[in-house]
Each structure stands twice: as C-alpha cells, then as structure tokens.
Amino acid sequence: MQSFEIDKSDLLRFEKALEGDNAELESVLKEYHASEIALLFEKLPQEARERIINVLPTDIASEVISEMHEEQDPGELLIGLDPEKRSEIIEELDYDDATDIISQLDEDEQQEILEDLDQEDADSIRALLKYDEDTAGGLMDSEIVKVNINLDKKDALDEIVRQSEEMEEFYTIYVVDDADILQGILSVKSILKAKPDAHVRDLVNTDFVFVKADLDQEDVASLISQYNLASIPVVDDNMKLLGRVTVDDIMDVMEQESTEDILKISGVSEDEELSGNWKDAVKSRLPWLIINLGTAYLAASIIRQFDGTVTRFPIIAAYMTIIAGMGGNAATQALAVTVRRISLSDLTDKQAYNTVIKEFLVGMLNGAANGIIVLIIAYFYDANLKLGLVLFLAMTGNLIVAGLTGASIPLVLKRVGIDPAVASSIIITTFTDCAGFLLPLWFATKLL
C-alpha cells in the first residue's frame, strides 16, 4: 500500500466540499482514511477541522483526532467541540490516546472535559495524567484483559470475552491474584488448546518481562524491541498491574526520539516544534549559533599564529577550508553512528573502546584516501609535490581527529551524565575546525 501524500487536488476537493452542505462533505470524507484526513488537517483552519469532525461518525472522528500530530493541537480541536460530541469522541479513544491529547490542555480545560465524561472514563484518564508523558506510565493503556490465577478454563474464557468486548484488540492476557498482583502472562492459544478441566495456574507463564511505571520510554522501547514483544505489562513498585504498553505506542516513541536526536545533533532544541513559528525557531537555535561563533573564533585565532606562513604560501588558505570541511563531515558521520549505538544500548567499556578504535581506523584510511587525491591535485594543478605532501598529512590527520572525536566525545558525555546528542556536535566541530587549520599550517611551516 502506498503512503498518502497531500497534493493540491486533494486540498482543493476538501475546500470545495467545505463550501457545500454536510451531505456533500460527508460524501468526500468517505473516500479518505482517517490518517489521510488527519494529514489534510495540517492545511485546514480550525473552523474547517471542527466542521469535519462534527460531520464524521464518532468512531472515525476519534481515529482522526488520535492520528493528529501534537503540533496540530488536537486538544484545542476537542475543546472547541460541543460537549456531547466531545465526550462521545473521547469515550471511543483508548485511554492512553485520550490522556496524551488532554494533557496538552490547561488544567481548567482538562477539568472541563473530564467533568463531562462518565465516572469510570474520567477516573481512568485522571490516573494516567499523573505520570510523566515520557515514562511507561505516560505511555500505557489501562484497558487490559486480566484473569485471576484461581479460575478454571471456562470461567477464564468467560472473563476474557466479557473484558474484550469494548477493546479493539489485545495481544496478551495478564494473570493476577486476588490483590491484583501480576503473576504472569497467558496466551490466547494456550487457553484455547487447554483441556476443559484445566486451570489458569497450570497454564500461566511466570517467566515474563515487565516494566515499572516510572521507567523512561526509551528503555521501554528497548525492552519491547529486544524481546520482540507485542505488548509489555506496566506495574507499580508492589507488582500491582497498572496497564500495558503496546508496540504501536513504541513506534510513536521511536519516531519521536529519532526526531529529537536529529534536532539535537543539528544544534536545535527539542522544544522547537517542526511546525513552529519563526520566533520559536530563533529562540531555540540562536544560543547554539552564538556558542558556535565563539568556537569559530577559536579556530580563526590559530591562523593568526601562522601569519608568516599564510603570507608566504597564500594557496594554503584555500586548501585549509577543504580540509576543515572534510573533517567536519567525517566527524558528523562518526558522531551519528556512535549516538545511535548509545541510544540502542548502553555500551560496555570494551564496546566503547572498540568503537573508538574502529572510528580511528576508518578516519585514518579515509583520510589517506582523500589525502592522496589532494596530493595529486596539488602536484598537477599547483606543480608542487611538497604542497601535496603537506595536504596529504593534514587531511589524514584531520580525519583521524574527526573519527576519534566523533566516537569518543559522545561516549565521554554519556559517562558523565550529559545527553551526547546535545553538546557533541559543537565540541567535535571545534576540534575538526582547529585541526583543519592547525595541521596544514604547521606542516607547511615545517616542510615548505
């Protein structure tokens, strides 16, 4: 199935349908999936969004809202709806999705929404709101299928059918005792294949993976990935079952974390929304650019120390920018690989050491290969073999520096408790710029 992309024709169809009556609009909406409508919402004003949500059946409207990105303010869309329609939509949402959306609103608006819900739904959402959004508790859905460990097969199946009636899907049955303490997990296959006189305690799998409610979402994602789970139970400190985190929630987490890492490596704050305005962008990026300006002055100060060399061999200035730029690119490659490895798992001392050695060797070989190219260019274009040798040594040296810093800086930052994606790029740029200027000037001073 091909992915949907907004084009001008789709947008024009929606705009034309919005000019007509509700029957015409409803006819057009039937041709689009809920996720496609959510994408089209990016291009539509709030008034148009509210009208579309009111026209859609409640189950489809709830799916559209759950598919909206946080930057599209689904909470603001909900708060603008008629209270009855709003409550119907929220009751169709999974508790975790409803909580994510409601948490974006002010406390007064949250209370306004919760007061219109029935008591059970409101209590479930309030319970989830107390957890940080980037923890297992913030991700979990409290709607689960659970059976008591003392039940026989027939009673357990009756409970499973009863509890799953209003659930879209479930992957695992959780087994608890009378105090709701998690005892293990039970697959649908195992209970269906069991003999009629079997009991849950004979079928339960007590070797299972679980997470505490306060565990960071990245660690939850790592566990689900490591053990190839469709869902994972969430418990409190006393092993009382609270809910579950499903693989579809983790896909959203992985996208979010990848986006944050890319922004951090680029020197952009994670607080800057991708669809934010120019004021937010300036506020987010300017501090990092000022820091980078300071490091650029540090690199430029090196040139001042070699004024005589630059005066005698002005051609070296042109090649310095090439060497510094190549070093920056190579360091970014090493940094991206290392940060990704760190995000996937905590590296042991041996793994960290091997990572640094690997990037050193890669830097040396890539540096030598590129150094030979600039040596040949200098020999034929500038008719100066010694200049070529200087550039070969400088290029090789700077790509070694790039590999070492790109691998070691994030590892050191991680070890001292600093997010390696935040500060690494500024530091390694300083190293590669300084080395990119220092090495060719120093070798030129000594050899030319």
Distances (CA, A) of 435 to 75, 105, 367, 396, 443: 50, 49, 13, 11, 12
Q: Which of 230, 246, 262 is the last residue in one of the domains?
A: 246
How does residue 14 score in pLDDT terms, banded at 50, 70 and 90? confident
| Residue 447 confidence (pLDDT) | 87
pLDDT for residue 1:
41
* Model pLDDT, residue 287: 75
The answer to whether residue 251 sits within a structural domain is no
CATH no. for residue 350? 1.10.357.20
Torsion of CA 304, 310, 311, 312, to 10 degrees: 140
Q: Give the integer Cα–Cα distance in Å for 274 and 277.
A: 9
Q: What pLDDT, in 10s, does the model give residues 377-418?
A: 988 888 888 999 999 999 999 999 999 999 998 898 888 877
- Same domain as 94, residue 158: no
Which of the four pLDDT bands, split at 50, 70 and 90, describes residue 270? low
Question: CB-based burial of residue 426 (10 Å sphere; 0-12 exposed, 13-18 middle, 19+ buried)?
Answer: middle
Range of lowest pLDDT (27-31, 154-158, 168-172, 364-368): 168-172
CATH of the domain at 111: 1.25.60.10
Closest among 49, 5, 10, 50 to 28, alpha carbons compared? 10
Cβ neighbours, 10 Å, residue 166: 9
Q: State the pLDDT at residue 290.
A: 82
146 φ, ψ to 5°?
-135, 150
Q: For residues 128 and 138, is the Cβ–Cβ distance under 8 A?
A: yes
**Residues 131, 213: contact at Cβ < 8 Å?**
yes
Residue that wins the pLDDT comparison between 172 and 422: 172
Average pLDDT, integer, range 177-194: 93
Query: Picking from 243-247, 327-331, 403-407, 428-432, which range would have the lowest pLDDT averaged per residue?
Result: 428-432
260 pLDDT tier (thresholds 50, 70, 90): low
Q: How many domains does the chain have?
A: 3
Other CB atoms within 10 Å distance of the CB of residue 417: 6
Say whether both 325 and 435 belong to one domain.
yes
Looking at the structure, tell me whether residues 104 and 154 fall in a common domain.
no
- pLDDT at residue 267 tops 60: no
Segments forming the whole domain that contains residue 297: 278-447
Q: What is the pLDDT of residue 392?
A: 95
Confidence band of 261 (pLDDT split at 50, 70, 90): low
Please state the rounded mean pLDDT for residues 29-42: 88
Residue 408 has a CB neighbour count (10 Å cut-off) of: 20
pLDDT of residue 238: 94
